[in-house]
């Protein structure tokens, strides 16, 4: 599941959450070539790891073929867009599961997903592509996390929860069993979701209530 059988070094996209991903790679004993980050100059050293350049390198077929990629930015849509660029040139995604996680043999983890550590993924849960699970989370039995979902540290999901594509759950969010959260919706830190939420909303509180709609980019 860590992708260790593929010996190509990993390129981490983004240096924010990417620094946490770097530590996961090191704990897994995986070689990391460096970061891609358009906000930093090529050659800068971040936590003893070089910035190789910006995202323009994702258009270089030779560069893409020589590496595996770990899109690590917070926004799920951007992670999926980076993954699509890599795969368009035949490149591969790194699926990274820190050894401190407890993942059921009957759970499914999609390509490019990253589990940072000390989380539990219960039986028959399914994580889509490029899902990012931060530290100390619980994913219940039979949960379905769509492509590009992000769980901040300390999120806990009951059984049979559905988080549609690109949902973002803030620090310490709780979702009770049998709830569905619509695509691209955001649940605020410390909120408890007790009923279904539609797509493209922001919900806060205990119980969580919709406070505004999110405008989708044109």
Q: Where in the chain is the domain with CATH 2.160.10.10?
A: 97-205
In order of 54, 147, 182, the CA distances from 81 in angstroms are: 15, 11, 20
* Cα atoms in the Cβ-side hemisphere of radius 13 Å centred on 213: 5
User: Catalytic residue numbers?
Assistant: 141
pLDDT in tens, the chain (218 residues): 554 568 899 999 999 999 999 999 999 999 999 999 999 999 999 999 999 999 999 999 999 999 999 999 999 999 999 999 999 998 999 999 999 999 999 999 999 999 999 999 999 999 999 999 999 999 999 999 999 999 999 999 999 999 999 999 999 999 999 999 999 999 999 999 999 999 999 999 999 999 999 987 65
Q: Where in the chain is the domain with CATH 3.40.50.20?
A: 10-94
Residue 74 annotated in ligand binding: yes
d(CA 21, CA 132): 10
Please state which CATH number belongs to domain 10-94: 3.40.50.20
In order of 10, 12, 66, the CA distances from 31 in angstroms are: 6, 11, 13
pTM above 0.85, yes or no: yes
Determine whether 196 is exposed, middle or buried from the number of CB atoms within 10 Å of its CB (0-12, 13-18, 19+).
exposed
* 97-205 is a CATH 1.10.760.10 domain: no
């Amino acid at each position: 599941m860590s992708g260790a059988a593929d010996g190509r070094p990993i390129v981490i996209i983004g240096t924010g959450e990417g620094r946490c991903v770097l530590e996961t790679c090191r704990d897994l004993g995986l070689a990391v070539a460096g970061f891609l980050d358009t906000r930093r100059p090529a050659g800068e050293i971040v936590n003893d790891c070089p910035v190789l350049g910006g995202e323009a390198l994702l258009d270089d077929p030779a560069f893409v073929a020589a590496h595996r990629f770990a899109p690590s930015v917070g926004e799920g849509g951007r992670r999926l867009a980076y993954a699509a660029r890599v795969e368009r040139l035949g490149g591969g995604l790194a699926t990274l599961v820190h050894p401190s996680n407890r993942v059921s043999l009957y759970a499914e983890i999609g390509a490019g997903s990253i589990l940072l550590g000390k989380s539990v993924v219960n039986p028959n849960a399914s994580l889509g592509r490029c899902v990012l699970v931060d530290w100390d989370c619980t994913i219940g039995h039979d949960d379905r996390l769509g492509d590009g979902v992000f769980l901040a540290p300390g999120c806990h999901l009951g059984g049979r929860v559905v988080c549609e594509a690109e949902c973002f759950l803030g620090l310490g969010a709780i979702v009770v069993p049998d709830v569905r959260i619509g695509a691209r919706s955001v649940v605020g830190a410390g909120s408890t979701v007790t009923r279904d939420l539609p797509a493209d909303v922001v919900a806060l509180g205990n119980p969580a209530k919709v406070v505004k709609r999110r405008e989708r980019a044109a």
